[in-house]
């Protein structure tokens, strides 16, 4: 017996195979002890902490905080005697289309009283020859977003002009200009 223990400690445990066997025995012992200590779980139950219903993070009775609302938007507010959003859009479209032989300064001056400072800055350096249409082809269609913000679509002979208008001390002004091809 003494020889077997001596062989075990001097040769077997010093080899790679001996070390692997010792590690395997330790792992099996730890896993077996953990199974004995833990509570038995029925494998038919699946996950033991699975929720019974859907998890919600928003109170369903709270108000709507999204940008899109099912409620009808408020009508745009216009001061008595001031231009309506449709009138502003039509005047802006006529000024934006310009006329033959118009200089850049004349074109910019025609747009200035109908546009916000942010749009005027974006249009700096734009040439009137770059406008892709020649005439308005129909009445504008208004999408009311809020009482102080509307979107108007104007059909033109070569596409559609989309304008976003906001209210200011000067009345309704065009803040965003977008061109949509047919």
Span 136-171, pLDDT tens digits: 888 888 888 888 889 999 998 888 989 999 988 878
| Residues 75, 144 contacting (CB under 8 angstroms) | yes
Tokens of 44: 């038919």
Tokens of 59: 């109170």
Domain boundaries defined on the chain: 1-31, 85-180
Q: What is the DSSP string of the chain?
A: -HHHHHHIIIIITTSHHHHHHHHHHHHHHHHHHHHHHSPP--GGG--TT--SS----S-TTSPP-SSS-SSPPPPPP--TTSPPHHHHHHHHHHHHH--TT--HHHHHHHHGGGB-HHHHHHTTT--GGG----SB-S--EEEEEETTEEEEEEEETTEEEEEEEEEETTEEEEEEEEEE--
pLDDT at 56 over 90: no
pLDDT at 69 over 60: no
| pLDDT score recorded for residue 151 | 92
- High-pLDDT (> 70) share of the chain, %: 79
> How much is the pTM?
0.58
CATH of 85-180, one of 2.60.120.10, 3.10.450.540, 3.40.50.20, 3.40.109.10: 3.10.450.540
Task: Say how far apart CA 84 and CA 152 lie, in whole Å.
Answer: 12
Q: What's the length of the chain?
A: 182
Which residue carries 């108007």 as its tokens?
152
């Amino acid at each position: 017996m003494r020889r077997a223990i001596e062989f075990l400690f001097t040769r077997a445990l010093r080899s790679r195979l001996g070390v692997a066997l010792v590690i395997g025995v330790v792992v099996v012992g730890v896993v077996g002890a953990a199974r004995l200590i833990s509570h038995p779980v029925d494998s038919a139950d699946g996950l033991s902490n699975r929720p019974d219903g859907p998890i919600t993070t928003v109170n369903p009775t709270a108000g709507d905080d999204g940008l899109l609302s099912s409620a009808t938007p408020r009508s745009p507010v216009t001061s008595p005697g001031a231009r309506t959003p449709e009138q502003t859009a039509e005047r802006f479209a006529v000024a934006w289309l310009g006329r033959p032989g118009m200089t850049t300064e004349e074109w910019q001056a025609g747009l200035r009283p109908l546009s916000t400072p942010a749009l005027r800055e974006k249009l700096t350096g734009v040439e009137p020859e770059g406008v892709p249409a020649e005439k308005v082809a129909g009445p504008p269609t208004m999408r009311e977003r809020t009482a102080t913000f509307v979107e108007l679509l104007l059909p033109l002979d070569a596409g559609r002009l989309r304008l976003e208008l906001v209210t200011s001390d000067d009345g309704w002004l065009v803040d965003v200009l977008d061109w949509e091809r047919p």
